Structure 1
């Protein structure tokens, strides 16, 4: 009697270089592929979750839009191989256990996650399955370097990026990507009842604010590979020279692909290395390393998204949030053209150029003296690449509350940043065409005076 394998997809929405799917194909039994939509798990269950567990954060609106289309694309890729993607909703532990009983599966495979709540949930599910005599295995798929494998000479987690990245480069070369299973390599699917993806309401309707996302992106594994090939051929050589200029089409566009697992970091690493050994390749792979560093921090400091890594910042004198002020920042109506351009790019496209992310974040936390968590929450909801590690690490880096943080006295001057990186105003004109006209708002704060206030505020905790 057949003993199917369950492959549980999460943030690995691809068939290529998917170790869990590869293992199921190698096992040689019928395969049940499942995606579980879980916003119902009870994190008060102390038998599963520790006191430090922050819970698994629901995805924001832009990420859900992406997920809907990426899951559709994944279903198509699986269908081409004789497999079906089953959609189930509810507490993941209950859904997976129920699906195993329903199918009499002999094995359940998934790829690892690195947040504390995710790890604790996965460990609990693995333990329960093994107690029931079911093979349960997890795999390294979405990070080049497992967070527990890299330590300082003193045996501690890294807190500074440069030595962390040096350790990564000195570690064994990341494995080569696994091939996608072919139709002939898959024993077949076991058909089980499925919910409808459309019933989960991942797509906005009233109002439909996703027009700019549709114009900018085509989610899915095939599109991810096409974009990587285009970047390797046309953008990689100039990456180091042009990456800081937001009007240039110089970025890889890989961040949402990696976030949702349409592309693995192993595919990116070897694809870029095979394409070029030039300076641009080293510079780009360093950015991949920055993503790795974020997960290294998240693994060792699980409350990275909610608590200051530097305890001194618990006493920082943030301004009370003024809804009007925060709203003008969110809507790109601050009266500072480069800031407004970035915030409008974010709303329209679901991403923001990395240089401008730093400028807009610095403006919020330093010129407006608003808590970094307010900005992080807005980015979480509006970024298609909203990543639980990178998003929070980057906000803490700009605020100065995290490890390897920018010096507290570094306040990005938006006007100087615009002169240096958008000299001819192409980026600003694209998103803020009314800048400089009578209808454009006056600056929400004086940049010079707000910088002085920020430095004074940071001085209050300087000695802590």
Structure 2
């Protein structure tokens, strides 16, 4: 067998620059072989032309090209169940160490524990690293050691800790190019059983951060950063993002919300399937499948809702203000379980992250930590007047609005609002 090597396992960190685990591996004593595994446990749940798979394939191809051209190395792309793929690697290479960045979702924790046990049983050292967050769940706690469940005090403590440790704001310097010498071909996407998606992930953009506070709620402006998918798959580090944007407190607050929901998921994993506030378990959802289908198709008769849903299905993106309106409409106006909407968003959102998707849906439904009160019901018509008064966003996605082809509202707002409040009140008795 060959000399000892170290393996870096790419997962949610698809970049060579400012990658904590990769840098640590490269600074070690053995040459580094990077790998990526298309995890069948995840990909088997997705369509073959899912835009996120296409994006991941593009990123691993780019990394492989960079490694080939600059370091005479390559990214070994595998496909299958991770435990089985690691068993093959153990028999193919003399592995001394394995480095990877930590993931906090329930399946990832279970997978990583199983892989770690396998590797350590073969005498292989496993080193995990913090990379996708500034603070992990155990690093921002109350004085009594319990987790925060309200955002504002969490944010204050997060910022206090952040200011005490300014070095975490800085991207890491490149490590020496201590790569295992091997030339590897990246399999074409079709070789892996996938298809190219017609939906492209937009590049991240910091040009609008200065105006973010004042223009972030105007959906037609497209003044968002489109950072979501890039943070989700790690094509840019959280440190680089903060270094470029920390002058905007409002933008920074959105990044803190991301970590707030992550620590909620870690400390309260039951939220994945259940209401955070269990008293809301008594809500009797209507769960009308025909009404749900109209919501999914953007045929509710409320143009701002329909515009958002059509934008989501066609592009994999929906403006954040519109996400709140669409989610509130499903849960409150239609009395459909937030879990139905969460699953639909998970299927389509390019920036889907389990913790944020779950946290935001429970916020909209009123069932989550620090959620909107149950009696707060967005009026879609008023939201439209406030944030899209000239119909620029609506007419882009609902061109038939104002014609006979556009449907009448499927529910009347006042009646739906009163019904929702009554249902929630009954559940809380």
Task: Write out per-residue CA displacement over residues 33-91 of structure 1, whole angstroms, 9 at most, x where no aligned residue.
Answer: 111122349xxxxxxxxxxxxxx995673432332323333333333333212121222
5 Å matches for 1:298-447? 298-322=265-289, 324-447=290-413
Correspondence for 1:51: none
Distance (Å, rounded) in 1 between the aligned partners of 2:171 and 2:413: 49
Moved over 6 A (4+): none
Answering whether residue 248 of structure 2 is matched by residue 248 of structure 1, we say: no
Conservation of the 8 A alpha-carbon contact between 2:54 and 2:189: no
Shift of residue 20 of structure 1?
1.6
Distance (Å, rounded) in 2 between the aligned partners of 1:149 and 1:57: 35
SS in 1 for 2:427: coil
Distance (Å, rounded) in 1 between the aligned partners of 2:242 and 2:182: 34
SS in 2 for 1:137: strand
Distance 1:129 1:152, change over 3 A: same
Shift of residue 446 of structure 1?
1.0
SS in 1 for 2:195: coil
Shift of residue 129 of structure 1?
1.9
TM norm structure 1: 0.86
Distance 1:394 1:202, change over 3 A: farther
Conservation of the 8 A alpha-carbon contact between 2:64 and 2:186: no
SS in 2 for 1:237: coil
CA RMSD of aligned residues (A): 2.1
Answering whether residue 235 of structure 2 is matched by residue 283 of structure 1, we say: no
SS in 1 for 2:340: helix
Answering whether residue 176 of structure 2 is matched by residue 176 of structure 1, we say: no
TM norm structure 2: 0.92
Distance (Å, rounded) in 1 between the aligned partners of 2:54 and 2:291: 28
Among candidates 96, 101, 104, match of residue 86 of structure 2: 96
Distance (Å, rounded) in 1 between the aligned partners of 2:182 and 2:95: 10
Among candidates 182, 187, 191, match of residue 199 of structure 1: 191
Distance 1:303 1:36, change over 3 A: farther
Task: Write out per-residue CA displacement over residues 409-430 of structure 1, whole angstroms, 9 at most, x where no aligned residue.
Answer: 0101000001011111111111
Correspondence for 2:27: 26
Larger displacement relative to structure 2 (371-380 or 68-77): 68-77
Distance 1:140 1:58, change over 3 A: farther
Answering whether residue 71 of structure 2 is matched by residue 106 of structure 1, we say: no
Answering whether residue 238 of structure 2 is matched by residue 265 of structure 1, we say: yes
Shift of residue 380 of structure 1?
0.5
Distance 1:66 1:191, change over 3 A: closer
SS in 2 for 1:199: coil
Answering whether residue 156 of structure 2 is matched by residue 189 of structure 1, we say: no
SS in 2 for 1:247: helix
Aligned length: 421
Conservation of the 8 A alpha-carbon contact between 1:86 and 1:195: no
Correspondence for 1:44: none
Answering whether residue 131 of structure 2 is matched by residue 141 of structure 1, we say: yes
Conservation of the 8 A alpha-carbon contact between 1:310 and 1:403: yes
Larger displacement relative to structure 2 (72-81 or 327-336): 72-81
Shift of residue 23 of structure 1?
1.7
Conservation of the 8 A alpha-carbon contact between 1:30 and 1:190: no
Correspondence for 1:239: 212
Answering whether residue 63 of structure 2 is matched by residue 74 of structure 1, we say: yes
Distance (Å, rounded) in 1 between the aligned partners of 2:221 and 2:284: 38
Distance (Å, rounded) in 1 between the aligned partners of 2:53 and 2:252: 27
SS in 2 for 1:460: helix
Distance (Å, rounded) in 1 between the aligned partners of 2:278 and 2:413: 28
Task: Write out per-residue CA displacement over residues 329-364 of structure 1, whole angstroms, 9 at most, x where no aligned residue.
Answer: 111111110000101111121110000000000000
Structure 1: state its 5+ residue gaps.
Answer: 42-55, 205-209
Correspondence for 2:117: 127
Task: Write out per-residue CA displacement over residues 90-136 of structure 1, whole angstroms, 9 at most, x where no aligned residue.
Answer: 22122123213311111111000012332232133223322322121
Shift of residue 191 of structure 1?
5.5
SS in 1 for 2:33: strand
Larger displacement relative to structure 2 (259-268 or 93-102): 93-102
Conservation of the 8 A alpha-carbon contact between 1:126 and 1:137: no
SS in 2 for 1:366: helix
